[in-house]
Amino acid sequence: MKVNGNHYHSIWYDKNLDQVKIIDQRLLPYEFEIITVETLEEFETAIKDMAVRGAPLIGATAAFGIARQMLRDHSNKNLDLSWDRLNQTRPTAINLKWALDRCRNHLLNIPLTDRGYEAMQLAIEIANEDVEINKKIGLNGLEIIKSISKKKPKGEPIRLLTHCNAGWLATVDWGTATSPMYQAHNLNIPIHVWVDETRPRNQGALTAWELKSHGISHNYITDNAGGHLMQHGLVDMVIVGTDRTTSRGDVCNKIGTYLKALAAKDNNIPFYVALPSPTIDWTIEDGINEIPIEERSESEVSLIQGKDNTGVISKLKVTPEGTIGSNPAFDVTPAKLITGLITEKGICEASSNGLQKLFPQNNQKDCR
């Protein structure tokens, strides 16, 4: 998507410089800075510290990480070591393992001397596929927005609520939950987005930054405001992303998503999840008991980052001395609370049947 009139992906290979570039999301929405990632340590840190984040982007970054390591040392030993270290960076988003497995399975069949080149080609392919998947999710989600728009007085905006950042910054381009918004906006269908702040890391500020760059009407709201807005008829649809969706349609996403789904159910508001197929974990069913939930540093809760009035990005302590925060980063929304899953293959019910119909080739038992 565009930043100051220039089109960017969130990660790319600069062929002229022979470098992998990322947008450093730790500095957004305050500063737009592009950095180079090269060594295994730099790739690990970029993912762990959330310079890159969002399930699809984490997967694509890992693929580029493997590619850079294969250029230096294309041995099986280094392939396994890179796989292991990158796989440990973040535990919840399944796209990480999906991308690493895809790279390793492919490269093990490639002669050693060709691995460096092949690994980079595959990383580029994974990134390009992500763009295509998200574009299709947007077109499928657009149909839902259009059908809601038909029921509204002409010219009145469709009000969508989203949590975290499932935008183009969380993917390679388009985003998942934001893709239908961009598609609708491009067709001049009026929309307004309620953007959840998403403490503790405030990924809502990234969503707001994206929407602002594209001229999409939005308000940044506290995480606790959504239920109130729903009770007062101010939300037409909730749409969120996912870090891992089980074979029966349970959705793991940023902490707080579950509460939004409960409030949506209580208020009869459709709750959709934008789901790219690499985010489906076909090997598990029960999201609550089987998905590992990342526990991040307590300092993300007890300190809050912002830009002070001298223009410096700084952190402020919000808790009293001696109080320790607790920071589970994701939660699971059971399938029964989800109106539908918007995938690149179409929209389905959040259930084993629904997913199997769209992805018949994925038999869960074969994948174990």
Q: Could you list the active site residues?
A: 243
Least distance in angstroms from the C-beta of 12 to ligand MRU = 18
DSSP class of 33: -
Picking from 7, 32, 99, 15, the residue whose alpha carbon sits closest to that of residue 61 is 99
What CA–CA distance (Å, rounded) separates 307 from 31?
10
> In this structure, what token pair is assigned to residue 315?
């952190």
Contacts with ligand MRU by CB under 6 A lie at 53-56, 93, 164, 166, 170-171, 175-176, 203, 241-243, 253-254, 329
Q: What SS3 state is found at 104?
A: helix
Nearer to ligand MRU, 79 or 206 (CB): 206
What is the CB neighbour count within 10 angstroms for residue 155? Answer: 7
Nearer to ligand MRU, 69 or 176 (CB): 176
**Residues 280 and 345: beta-carbon distance below 8 Å:** no
Nearer to ligand MRU, 56 or 249 (CB): 56
Least distance in angstroms from the C-beta of 176 to ligand MRU = 4
Nearer to ligand MRU, 119 or 193 (CB): 193
Least distance in angstroms from the C-beta of 263 to ligand MRU = 17
How distant, in Å, are the alpha carbons of 19, 132, 190, 282 from that of 186?
33, 17, 10, 34
What CA–CA distance (Å, rounded) separates 151 from 60?
39
Nearer to ligand MRU, 93 or 235 (CB): 93
Q: What SS3 state is found at 191?
A: strand
What CA–CA distance (Å, rounded) separates 333 from 321?
34
Terminal-residue alpha carbon distance, the chain: 37
What CA–CA distance (Å, rounded) separates 277 from 359?
8
